[in-house]
Amino acid sequence: MEENNLFDVLDSRVLKESKKEEIVAVANLAKRCLHLNGKKRPTMREVAMELEAVQMLQKAPTLQQDYKELEYVRVDMYEPWDVPSSSMNVVKVIGCCLETEVPLLVYEYIPNGTLIQYVNGQIEEFPLTWDMRLRIATEVAGALFYLHSAVSSPIYHRDIKSTNILLDEKYRAKIADFGTSRSITVDQTHLTTLVHGTFGYLDPEYFQSSQFTEMSDVYSFGVVLAELLTGEKAISSTRTQESKSLATYFIQSKEENNFFDVLDSRVLKEGKKEEIVAVANLAKSCLYLNGKKRPTMREVAKELEAVQMLQKAPNLQQDYEELEYVRADMYEPWDVVQSSTLSTSSGDI
């Protein structure tokens, strides 16, 4: 592959029957698996996800021409996102003043207020459509992944909430307010600090242990997703004592099978059932009490992008349940029977 003679060494049947895009994707996946640095190899989950994505492209030939646009299938899938596009969704610092007792930062002006004003209906003349909600969620997820993984020193925001998500002149999301943020070294897994954050968005695990990890930002983002789906506030005195927290209220609705009763009317009217269920299950996985069971922001962003791609490819909706990388139980262990059957049939090595 390094000498650009990949096609000279391929099996003749592979060359004859396969499309170039599929061969290149699988070949690059094999190359990443064989990387000498183990830390740079993909996990088996990532390997399985990409192979399944290639299979889905076989079932949707009309998408072949858009192959490079499919972020979740692209050759460099596991490389950091394009920095300009991801950093677009983080407010820019214009300047600072160090002459005051408390240093001041000057940010770019974002004209259309905060996300909470639109989610809770404070700005009634411009209600958020389902497409806008999905796009905003994807933009925020991408920005958080950028902060966690794509910058030289990872940054934990530590106060993700709808009031800290601003909307610009085109209603694109911008993450703001980095007053409690902390940058960490690449090999650090957590910060031990005094608890900071906002009730309703605060990771319960962080609250109990004072150890903030990237999964604490994931939990807060899960609350924002729940807000976008329901139009409810993160903390509300109008709900029962047990359900004052939106996270609890949302999870209860999922477990009691009355989830569609708590959705925002506009979401119900405009969103396709498959899209809503996918985003709702993603929100639920972000809100797991055990941080280790939550997806990373990379996984969150990739799944939201996959849902958006389904909007652009309606012919794939009927095959939605076959998309393992977007399925409801994406973050649960694979079926034990299926795995054991595979290992038995393949024999011991």
Domain end among 50, 79, 108: 79
pLDDT at 187: 53
- Kindly report the number of other CB atoms within 10 A of residue 62's CB atom: 10
Asked whether residue 52 falls in the same domain as residue 186, the answer is no
Better pLDDT: 47 or 214: 214
Clarify whether residues 49 and 87 are in a common domain. no
Measured between alpha carbons, how far is 248 from 234 in angstroms, rounded to an integer?
10
Report the pLDDT value the prediction gives residue 168, as an integer from 0 to 100. Answer: 95
270 — pLDDT class (breaks 50, 70, 90): very high
Note whether 265 and 253 are same-domain residues. Answer: yes
Q: Which residues are catalytic?
A: 159
Single-letter amino acid, residue 279: V
Residues 65 and 158 in one domain: no
Look at residues 79, 105, 123 and tell me which one is the last residue of a structural domain: 79
* Most confident residue range from 82-86, 187-191, 276-280: 276-280
Do 234 and 145 lie in one domain? The reply is: yes
Q: What is the pLDDT of residues 301-332, one digit of tens each?
A: 999 999 998 877 655 545 554 554 444 444 44
- Closest to 263 measured CA to CA, from 227, 223, 230, 222: 230
74 close to 68: Cβ distance less than 8 angstroms? yes
Among the ranges given (3-17, 266-280, 285-299), the one the predictor scored with the smallest mean pLDDT: 3-17
How many separate domains does the chain show? 2
Domain enclosing residue 28, as ranges: 1-79
Listed residues 37, 54, 79: the one ending a domain: 79
- For residues 200 and 331, membership in a common domain is answered with yes
- State the pLDDT confidence band at 107, using cuts at 50, 70 and 90: confident
116 and 12 in a single domain? The answer is no
User: Are residue 28 and residue 91 in the same domain, yes or no?
Assistant: no
The verdict on 144 and 8 lying in the same domain is no
Co-location of 63 and 87 in the same domain: no
Q: What is the pLDDT of residue 343?
A: 42
Q: Residue 71: its pLDDT value, please?
A: 36
